[in-house]
Structure 1
Amino acid sequence: MHTEIQAETPRGADLKAGALAGIIAAAVFMMMEMGLVAMAGQSPWGPPRMIAAIVMGEGVLPPPASFDLMILMAAMAVHFMLSIVIGVVFAKGVRRPGLAMALMAGAAVGLGLYVVNFYGFTAIFPWFAMARNAISIVSHLAFGMVLSLSYRALTR
Structure 2
Amino acid sequence: MPEELHDVSLRVNGITREVQVPGRRLLSDALRHDLALTGTHVGCEHGVCGACTVLVDGRPVRSCLMLAVSADGTEVTTVEGLGEPDGGLGPVQQAFSECHGLQCGFCTPGFLTTITAGLRENPCPTHDEARDMIAGNLCRCTGYQNIVRAVERASELIAEGDVVGEGERA
Tell me the TM-score normalised to structure 2 length.
Answer: 0.32
1 or 2 for the larger relative contact order (CA 8 Å, sep ≥6)?
1
Tell me the TM-score normalised to structure 1 length.
Answer: 0.34
Higher helix share: 1
Pair member with larger Rg: 1
